[in-house]
Structure 1
Amino acid sequence: MRSWFITRSLQRLTRGSRMQVLALALGIGVSCCALALAGSDGDRVKPRAITTSEAQRLAMVRFKAFEASPQTVTVKIDDGTDSYAVRGLIDYGTRRGVGTYVAGATGQKQQAGLVAWDSSGLAVALGSGGTSPSSKSPQIARAAEKVRARLWSPRAYAGYPLDTALRVIAALGEDRPDNAQLMAQFGALRLGESTLRGKSYTRFSGPRPRPQSSGAAGAPRQRIASSSPLTYWVDEDGNLGRLEIKGSAMEQPVTIDFLGHEAHAKVPAAPWQGMSRHAQ
């Protein structure tokens, strides 16, 4: 059963690296697959290099995300066979998040549960505590707080699309703006304009991954990636409405929506209390 495999895969132990995902969140310093530059919505203009003002707006994205936390996020993944839907709450002051998820093909028996994640890994608790990806953040936070520590199954991040999404979410917020000059220097592109939830957003591809040096004298230079795997949907004030992650093994991009500040909920500490440390 594929849904059984999904649930088991969420609980397996593997290694993870925060530094790699920090680079991924910036689009700099990791080797990544190509990103499809044409969006499904909005204008169809040819991608172009970003202007100085656009670079400054893109450089504000991570800082704006930090300022808006705790905020509600959703994740949607569809690999053509199975799917994941997650709704949760991320706090960039602690780099911790909790959420509720449903995994499995739509229309078939699905697995539901709760997930907690931080910069080093994630933990899953089977059973949703009465929540679903349509629940409000306060309800999700209360459900996660009520789960006994021994019922959480922690592990380090692996290479699954959901792991990538949660790692990027955890790494995204920063307490200061990024360097706007680097955004332009490493090839960030303006892809076009789109409307999301009734609001206008500019779509940008992130800075292109920079080739990693092998360190060996005379070694051939790696080519700079032609495009970033990340598409940022950014409003006129630098707020991030959506982040798309494209991978060569995925038929559809991973979609992460940022729904804004949540004033009536906070990420509970309970999932981390008494829990075994994530594998390092």
Structure 2
Amino acid sequence: MSRIRRAAAAALTCWLALTSCSGSTAPDTKNSGPRPLTADEADRVALARFTTYRRGTGNVTTTIPSQGHTITLTGRVDWRRHLGYAELRNDAEPPVRELVQWTITKVTTRPHWTGGLPNRPPATGWETHRLTPHRSPLDTALILLLNLGTDRPDNAQLLARSSARLVRQDQVAGTPVIVVAGPAAPTAATTAPSPLGNTRYWIDRDGRLLRFQARVGGESAWMTVELPRTKADPLPSPPPAGAEPAPSNR
């Protein structure tokens, strides 16, 4: 198996672990009694990541809670090439602002940035770190963003029989959607699944994913991804890797 395929397999394992952990209802749940998916709803959920992949590249805005502050990523993701490119802002004092480019294995940052998100990034000044999901909310979010697209639909019949639940009907930018809680894994103490998992999907009638949430930290630490249906520019090539990525200390 090639290095790229091994990395992709590792990232998928990370995705499955992150999106299947047990957990309680997200703060956005407003109705009582989430219910199992109908066949039509399961079909829409099965298509969600595939329709994202078929887009190729999309604009994303992501908010990530981290150590009492909020990180905001505004940029683009190429789900076919597993590449991301964004401007990062942190509301800490002093505020942090930098460029970020990442793959399924590493993240490269350009600190002290003040010029917005350029189509042609600067050639120098980059720092590279290995991604360390499960330790850093930001790194967890970067992995999840790349895995919002997959090259084939999920199994709708398995989803219909899983612990995935319809949370409610909603709208995103005026478009009607269903809000679905992803499947939950069994807890350590029992083989029965917990009521709801750690992910939420806002999906329109055509199976397009318009919003995504995932728990990336404590009970109330939910990242939110907005995926507008606007045309996105191609991503620039990642900066030269230089030396091997250093261990992440973020």
Q: TM-score, normalised by structure 2?
A: 0.84
Structure 1 residues 204 and 151: CA distance shift in structure 2, 3 A: same
Structure 2: which amino acid aligns with 1:269? Answer: S
Q: Does 1:146 align with 2:142?
A: no
For residues 88 and 129 of structure 2, the distance between their equivalents in structure 1, rounded to whole angstroms, comes to: 16
Deviations along 1:182-220, whole A, 9 cap, x unmatched? Answer: 1122211000012222222210001222579xxxxxxx8
Q: Which residue of 2 aligns with 1:61?
A: 48
One-letter code aligned to 1:175: D
Paired residues for 1:61-140 under 5 Å: 61-79=48-66, 81-105=68-92, 108-131=93-116, 140=117
Match for residue 167 of structure 2? Answer: 191
Matching residue's letter, 1:116: Q
Closer, same or farther: CA 211–201 of 1 in aligned 2, 3 Å: same
Contiguous gaps of at least 5 residues in structure 2: 1-9
1:39 aligns with 2:16: no
Q: TM-score, normalised by structure 1?
A: 0.75
State the AA in 2 paired with 1:153: T
**2:241 matched to 1:266?**
no
Q: Which amino acid aligns with 1:130?
A: G
Q: Which amino acid aligns with 1:193?
A: Q
1:9 is aligned to: none
Matched-pair identity in %: 23
Q: RMSD across aligned C-alpha pairs, in angstroms? A: 2.7
- Pairwise CA distance, 1:78: 2.9
Please, which moves more after superposition, 254-263 or 66-75? Answer: 254-263
SS in 1 for 2:170: strand
CA contact (8 A) 2:184 2:193 kept: yes
Task: Indicate how the Cα distance of structure 1 residues 183 and 277 shifts in structure 2: closer, same or farther if over 3 A, else same.
Answer: farther
- How many corresponding residue pairs? 238
Corresponding residue for residue 37 of structure 2 = 50
- Is the counterpart of residue 206 in structure 1 residue 199 in structure 2? no
What do residues 116-148 of structure 1 show as CA deviations (whole Å, max 9, x unaligned)? 1111132221032501xxxxxxxx2525x3232
2:140/2:216 contact within 8 Å kept: no
Structure with higher helix content: 1
